[in-house]
C-alpha cells in the first residue's frame, strides 16, 4: 500500500514528457492518436533518396503477422513479435539489446502466438519507476526498460491476470489484448479482443495502477442491470452476452483527463442479433470516460443494433479544427462503413449534421433490424455504400462474367441491408472502410489522411440443425457448436474461407493439439477457454466426422421456441471473382485526404497494386491495406500495408506518389518516425501474412537519408 501511495503522489498532475510530436514514444505517435511528427529532415524534396539504414530479424518468420507500431524511448526502439515477445533494439543501428520471452512467464510457461500492435512505456513523474508493459493474450507484464527483466513487484509476480475483475467467472473469460493500452497519470487503461460468436466475453474497459498492478475501475460496455444503457437491450435468459469491446485501443485528452474509446459489435452472434434485440448500447459507440475513475462522460452510437460486423476499428483521433471561423476540439471517428463522425470533444455532439435515415428491415425470422441509422452529412462517404450491376468488376471479361452470375444469385441494396437466407451483398464489407490503422491528422491545416478498403461481403444466414440433447451423438452436438462458434471464419461444412481461414476437412494434428488450440487460441484464432471438456470433445468429433455422421438432424423451421430467438449459422465470405480478387470494380483500396474544417474530401488516390495483375497490364487497382499512415512536417505521408509488400511516400497536398520501396514481407503495421543524434529515421514492421495472406517475414526495417544529405 505504501508503494501505491508513492506512485499516486509522484504522478499527480504531471504531464507525460513523451506526449508530443517528436519522440514517437506512444502507440500512434501521441496520446491524441494524431500519427503526426513535427520532424522534417525527410521532406517532399528529398524523400526519393531514402535508403535502408538497418534491418533487424527476430528469427521467427512464421505467423501471425507483426502489427506492431514501434515506440522509441531514450534511444531504444521497442516492438512485439508473433510470439508476443517484447524486443528492444538500438534505434540508430537495430542492434539487439534484449528480448523478453513471454512464454517463460506465462501461466504454465505456455507459448502464445497472436496479433499484437505493440507495447506501452510508463514512468512516474520523478523518473524513479519506469517500465514497459507487454500485453500477452490475457496477461499484462511489467518489464524493466533497459534490461528486459520482469518486474516481479508488479501485480501477481510481475503480471496482471485480465481474466479477473470481470462480471463473469475467470475460467469463462476469453480475453486477448491485441492493441496497447494507454496511461493517464498512474492509471493503465486496458481493452481487449473477445470472441464474436455465442460464447463471448464482455468487452469491458478497465483501469489498473501502473505502479502496483492493482485493479482500480471498470466500465461495463455491456451494461449491467441498473446501469445506463441496460434498457437498450432485450435480454434472454441463459444467453451469453459479450463483445462491444474497444479492440482498436484508446486516445486520451491529458488536459481533461478523459480517455476515448470506440467499441465494436455486440455478441453473441456476428451478422445476426436475434438474441440481443434493441439498440445495444454501448456497442458501436464512441465513449469518453474519466480516466481516473472510468465514469462515463458521454457516448455516441455510430450503429444501432449492428448486424453487419461494422466495428469501430480505431480509437478516435483527437483534433483541433476551425469550423465557420470557430476553433473546435473534436473526436474524429473512422468506421468500416466509410462514414466519418466528427464529434465535439466536450459533449459528443456532431459538429456537422447527422441524419437518422430509414434503412431496410430484416426478413429473417427472429431478427428485428433497427429502423434507422445515423448518416453524417459531412464529410462525404469515403467509399461506395451500395453495389449495383454497373459496379461489378471490369478487370477482364472473364472476371466480369463470373461476378455478374454470382451477383444475380444474391440480394443487394444500400448500406445496412440486413443479412438474408438467400445471401445479401454488403458494401463496403466487414473489412471495408477504415481499419484499425486510423488516420494521420495535420495540426497545421486541419486535414486528416486515411486509407480505405472496398471488398463487399455476402452475408447469409442458415438455420442451424436442431437435435434432442438426450439422444444426439457427439458429432451432432459438435456440429451445433461449430455453427455458433466457428462458422464465421471457417465457413459452412468446414470448407474454410481461404486464404486466411483454412478448411478443417482433413486435420492432421492429433486430438490433444487441436483441443489445446481451441482452448487457448493461436494467431488470429481467439481462445474458447469457456468450452467444457465435453464441448471440446464434441467439436473434435464433428471435425473428424464426414457429413453422413451428422445426418438425420431435423432442420430448424426458423421459428422462435421457448421464448428464445432461432439460431443461425452465419456466413460472411468476401464477394470475389474466380481468382479471388474483389468482384467490385477497382479501386479496392485508396488513400484519402479530408479537410475537417469544411468536411470535404480534397483528394483520393489508389493505394497499392497486385503484382499478378500488373503483369497483365492491370494497374492502379489499389489493394486492401492494414496499418495506418504517418504524416510529417516535411509534407510527406508514409504508409505501407498493401498486398504488394511496399512502403510508400505521398505528397500531402496532391496525393502524388513520391517514393516507394519493396519490403522483405508485407508491412501490415503503422510506421514510426523519430530522430537520433540529428538523423531522422522511418521504421516499419514487415511481418507479412495477415489478412492479405502474403508470405511471412521477421523484419523491422529502418530507412534514412544518405549521410551525404544529413544536415
Rounded-to-integer distance, Cα 438 and Cα 440, Å: 7
List pLDDT tens digits, range 550-562.
Answer: 554 444 444 444 5
pLDDT class of 14 with cuts at 50, 70, 90:
low
Average of per-residue pLDDT across 322-331: 97
Nearest Cα residue to 621 out of 633, 637, 635, 610: 610
Q: What is the rounded average pLDDT of the residues 258-274?
A: 94
Residues near 500 by beta carbon (within 8 Å), at least 6 away in sequence: 524, 691, 693
Cβ 150 vs Cβ 142: under 8 Å: yes
Per-residue pLDDT at 552? 47
What interhelical angle do 533-544 and 474-485 show, nearest 10?
100
pLDDT at position 11: 38
pTM of the model: 0.92
Mean pLDDT of 489-500: 70
Q: Residue 518 and residue 515: Cα distance in Å, rounded?
A: 5
pLDDT at 488: 65
pLDDT tens per residue, range 586-615: 999 999 999 999 999 999 999 999 999 999
Pair type for strands 372-376 and 354-358: antiparallel
pLDDT digits (tens, 9 = 90+) for 518-540: 877 776 677 777 788 888 888 88
Report the mean per-residue pLDDT for the chain: 92
CA distances from 183 to 21, 429, 445, 544 (A): 17, 33, 28, 47
In this model, does residue 499 exceed pLDDT 70?
no
Residue 549 has pLDDT above 60, yes or no: no
pLDDT at 110: 82
Would you state the pLDDT for residue 497? Answer: 66
- With H, G, I as helix, E, B as strand and everything else as coil, classify residue 8: helix
Asked if the model's pLDDT at residue 60 lies above 80, the reply is yes
Average pLDDT over residues 650-679: 98
C-alpha to C-alpha distance for 334 and 341, rounded to whole angstroms: 7
Nearest to 149 by CA among 125, 130, 163, 136: 130
Pick the closest to residue 133 from 235, 211, 206 (CA basis).
Answer: 211
Asked if residue 246 has pLDDT above 60, the reply is yes
Question: pLDDT at position 544, please?
Answer: 85
Q: Is the pLDDT of residue 8 over 50?
A: no
* Contacts of 97 by beta carbon, 8 Å cutoff, 6+ apart: 76, 88, 89, 90, 146, 148
Place of cell 466480369: 400
Across the range 182-191, mean pLDDT stands at 98
Mean of the pLDDT values across residues 684-703? 97
> Does residue 177 have a pLDDT over 50?
yes
Count of C-beta atoms within a 10 Å radius of residue 422: 12
d(CA 336, CA 340): 10
Task: Determine the pLDDT at residue 433.
Answer: 98
What tens digit of pLDDT does each residue of 460-479 get?
999 987 777 778 888 888 88
pLDDT score recorded for residue 563: 62
pLDDT in tens, 611-630: 999 999 999 999 999 999 99
Mean pLDDT of 636-641: 98
What are the CA-CA distances from residue 392 to residues 413, 425, 452 (Å)? 14, 12, 19
Split at pLDDT 50, 70, 90, the class of 101 is: very high
Span 349-385, pLDDT tens digits: 999 999 999 999 999 999 999 999 999 999 999 999 9
**Residue 313 burial by Cβ neighbours in a 10 Å radius (0-12, 13-18, 19+):** buried
Angle among Cα 191, 194, 200 to the nearest 5 degrees reads 130
701 class by beta-carbon count within 10 Å (0-12 exposed, 13-18 middle, 19+ buried): buried
pLDDT score of 55 = 98
- Structure-block grid coordinates of residue 288: 469518453
> In the structure, what pLDDT confidence band is assigned to residue 509 with cuts at 50, 70 and 90?
confident
Sign of CA dihedral 413, 418, 423, 429: positive
Measured CA distances, 552 to 470, 479, 568 (Å): 15, 12, 18
Predicted confidence at residue 530, as pLDDT, reads 74
Provide the angle, in degrees to the nearest 10, between the axes of the packed helices 533-544 and 511-520. Answer: 120
Report how far residue 474's alpha carbon sits from residue 534's, in angstroms, rounded to the nearest whole number: 9
The alpha-helical segments, DSSP class H, found in 615-700 are: none
Q: What is the pLDDT of residues 282-316, one digit of tens each?
A: 999 999 999 999 999 999 999 999 999 999 999 99
Which of 256, 258, 252, 216 is closest to 8 using CA atoms? Answer: 216
Question: Whole-angstrom Cα distance, residue 426 to residue 457?
Answer: 5
C-alpha 170/C-alpha 163 separation (Å) is 5
Q: Where is pLDDT greater, at 425 or 7?
A: 425
Q: What is the pLDDT of residue 374?
A: 98
**Do residues 413 and 360 make contact, with C-beta atoms less than 8 angstroms apart?**
yes
Residues 47/640, Cβ–Cβ less than 8 Å: no
Does the pLDDT of residue 493 top 90, yes or no? no
Closest CA to 671 of 636, 621, 695: 636
The grid cell for 635 is 509534407
Structural element, H or E, at residue 702: strand 694-704
Q: What is the DSSP letter of 584?
A: B
Q: Which fold has domain 465-555?
A: Cytochrome Bc1 Complex; Chain D, domain 2 (1.10.760)
pLDDT single digits (tens) 146-159? 999 999 999 999 99
Q: Quick one: fold of 1-28+68-240?
A: Lipocalin (2.40.128)
Instruction: Give residue 131's pLDDT band: very low, low, confident or very high (50, 70, 90).
Output: very high
CA distance 261 to 250: 5
Q: How confident is the model at residue 710 (pLDDT cuts 50, 70, 90)?
A: low
Tell me what pLDDT residue 525 has.
75
What residues does each domain of the chain span?
1-28+68-240, 465-555
Q: Is the pLDDT of residue 1 over 50?
A: no
Cα of 587 vs its chain's centroid, Å = 22
Retrieve residue 141's grid coordinates.
507484464
- Determine contact, residues 434/408, Cβ cutoff 8 Å: no
Same CATH topology for 1-28+68-240 and 465-555?
Answer: no
Over 80: is that where the pLDDT of 128 sits?
Answer: yes
Taking alpha carbons only, the member of 445, 413, 406 closest to residue 427 is 413
Render 353-377 in DSSP notation, one character per residue. Answer: -EEEEE-PPP-STT----SEEEEES
Higher-confidence residue of 413 and 8: namely 413
**Does residue 404 have a pLDDT over 70?**
yes
Residue pair 89/95 in contact by the 8 Å Cβ criterion: yes
Count of CB atoms situated within 10 Å of the CB of 382: 26
**Residues contacting 502, CB < 8 A, separation 6+:** 490, 496
User: What is the dihedral sign for C-alpha 140, 87, 19, 15?
Assistant: positive
Q: Do the strands 36-37 and 630-632 form a parallel or antiparallel pair, or are they unpaired?
A: parallel
User: In this predicted structure, which of 79-88, 101-110, 359-368 has the lowest mean pLDDT?
Assistant: 101-110
| 167 grid coordinates | 462480471
Counting residues of the chain whose pLDDT is more than 70, the rounded percentage is 93
Q: What is the pLDDT of residue 605?
A: 98
Characterize 227-247 residue by residue with b for buried, 16 or more Cβ atoms within 10 angstroms of its Cβ, and e for exposed: eebeebbeebeeebbbbbbbb
Strands 86-90 and 439-441: unpaired
Amino acid at each position: 500500500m505504501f508503494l501505491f501511495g508513492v506512485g499516486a503522489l509522484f504522478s499527480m498532475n504531471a504531464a507525460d514528457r513523451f506526449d508530443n510530436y517528436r519522440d514517437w514514444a506512444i502507440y500512434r505517435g501521441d496520446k491524441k492518436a494524431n500519427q503526426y511528427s513535427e520532424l522534417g529532415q525527410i521532406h517532399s524534396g528529398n524523400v526519393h533518396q531514402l535508403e535502408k539504414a538497418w534491418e533487424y530479424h527476430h528469427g521467427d518468420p512464421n505467423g501471425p503477422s507483426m502489427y506492431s507500431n514501434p515506440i522509441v524511448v531514450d534511444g531504444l526502439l521497442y516492438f512485439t513479435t508473433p510470439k508476443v515477445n517484447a524486443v528492444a533494439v538500438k534505434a540508430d543501428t537495430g542492434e539487439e539489446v534484449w528480448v523478453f520471452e513471454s512464454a517463460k512467464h506465462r501461466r504454465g510457461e505456455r507459448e502464445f502466438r497472436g496479433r499484437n500492435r505493440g507495447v506501452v512505456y510508463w514512468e512516474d513523474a520523478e523518473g524513479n519507476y519506469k517500465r514497459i508493459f507487454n500485453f500477452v493474450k490475457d496477461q499484462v507484464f511489467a518489464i524493466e526498460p533497459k534490461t528486459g527483466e520482469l518486474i516481479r513487484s508488479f501485480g501477481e509476480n510481475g503480471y496482471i491476470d485480465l481474466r479477473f475483475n470481470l462480471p463473469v467467472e475467470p475460467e469463462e473469460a476469453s480475453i486477448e489484448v491485441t492493441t496497447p493500452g494507454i496511461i493517464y497519470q498512474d492509471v493503465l487503461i486496458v481493452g481487449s479482443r473477445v470472441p464474436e460468436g455465442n460464447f463471448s466475453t464482455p468487452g469491458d474497459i478497465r483501469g489498473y495502477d501502473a505502479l502496483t498492478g492493482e485493479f482500480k475501475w471498470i466500465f461495463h460496455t455491456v451494461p449491467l442491470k441498473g446501469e445506463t444503457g441496460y434498457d437498450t437491450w432485450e435480454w434472454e435468459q441463459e444467453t451469453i452476452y459479450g463483445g462491444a469491446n474497444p479492440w482498436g485501443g484508446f486516445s486520451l485528452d491529458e488536459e481533461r483527463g478523459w480517455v476515448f474509446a470506440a467499441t465494436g459489435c455486440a455478441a453473441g452472434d456476428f451478422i445476426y442479433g436475434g438474441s440481443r434485440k434493441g439498440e445495444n448500447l454501448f456497442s458501436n459507440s464512441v465513449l469518453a470516460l474519466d480516466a481516473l475513475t472510468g465514469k462515463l462522460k458521454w457516448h455516441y452510437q455510430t450503429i444501432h443494433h449492428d448486424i453487419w460486423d461494422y466495428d469501430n476499428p480505431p480509437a478516435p483521433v483527437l483534433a483541433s479544427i476551425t469550423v465557420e471561423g470557430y476553433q473546435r476540439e473534436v473526436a474524429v471517428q473512422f468506421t468500416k462503413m466509410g462514414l466519418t463522425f466528427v464529434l465535439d470533444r466536450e459533449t459528443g455532439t456532431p459538429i456537422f449534421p447527422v441524419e437518422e435515415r430509414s434503412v431496410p428491415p430484416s426478413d429473417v425470422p427472429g431478427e428485428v433490424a433497427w429502423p434507422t441509422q445515423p448518416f453524417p452529412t459531412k464529410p462525404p462517404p469515403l467509399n461506395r455504400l451500395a453495389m449495383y450491376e454497373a459496379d461489378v468488376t471490369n478487370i477482364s471479361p472473364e472476371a466480369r462474367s463470373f461476378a455478374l452470375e454470382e451477383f444475380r444469385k444474391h440480394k443487394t441494396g444500400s448500406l445496412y441491408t440486413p443479412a438474408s437466407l438467400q445471401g445479401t451483398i454488403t458494401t463496403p464489407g466487414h473489412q471495408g472502410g477504415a481499419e484499425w490503422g486510423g488516420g494521420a491528422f495535420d495540426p497545421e491545416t486541419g486535414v486528416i489522411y486515411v486509407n480505405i478498403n472496398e471488398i463487399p461481403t455476402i452475408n447469409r444466414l442458415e438455420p442451424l440443425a436442431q437435435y434432442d440433447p438426450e439422444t444426439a451423438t457427439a458429432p451432432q452436438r459438435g456440429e451445433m457448436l461449430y455453427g455458433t462458434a466457428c462458422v464465421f471464419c471457417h465457413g459452412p461444412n468446414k470448407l474454410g474461407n481461404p486464404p486466411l481461414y483454412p478448411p478443417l476437412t482433413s486435420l492432421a494434428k492429433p486430438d490433444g493439439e487441436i483441443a489445446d488450440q481451441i482452448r487457448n487460441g493461436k494467431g488470429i484464432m481467439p481462445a474458447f477457454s469457456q468450452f467444457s471438456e465435453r464441448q471440446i470433445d464434441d467439436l473434435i468429433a464433428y471435425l473428424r466426422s464426414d457429413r453422413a455422421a451428422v445426418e438425420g438432424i431435423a432442420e430448424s423451421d426458423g421459428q422462435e421456441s421457448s421464448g428464445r430467438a432461432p439460431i443461425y449459422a452465419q456466413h460472411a465470405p468476401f464477394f470475389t471473382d474466380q481468382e479471388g480478387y474483389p468482384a467490385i470494380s477497382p479501386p479496392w483500396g485508396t488513400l484519402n485526404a479530408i479537410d475537417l474544417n469544411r468536411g470535404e474530401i480534397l483528394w483520393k488516390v489508389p493505394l497499392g497494386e497486385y503484382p499478378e495483375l500488373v503483369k497483365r497490364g492491370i494497374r492502379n487497382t489499389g489493394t486492401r491495406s492494414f496499418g495506418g499512415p504517418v504524416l510529417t512536417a516535411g509534407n510527406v505521408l508514409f504508409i505501407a500495408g498493401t498486398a504488394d509488400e511496399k512502403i510508400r511516400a505521398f505528397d500531402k497536398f496532391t496525393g502524388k506518389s513520391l517514393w516507394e520501396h519493396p519490403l522483405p514481407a508485407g508491412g501490415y503495421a503503422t510506421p514510426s518516425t523519430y530522430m537520433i543524434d540529428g538523423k531522422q529515421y522511418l521504421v516499419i514492421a514487415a511481418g507479412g501474412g495477415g489478412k492479405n495472406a502474403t508470405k511471412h517475414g521477421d523484419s523491422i526495417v529502418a530507412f534514412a537519408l544518405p549521410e551525404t544529405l544529413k544536415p
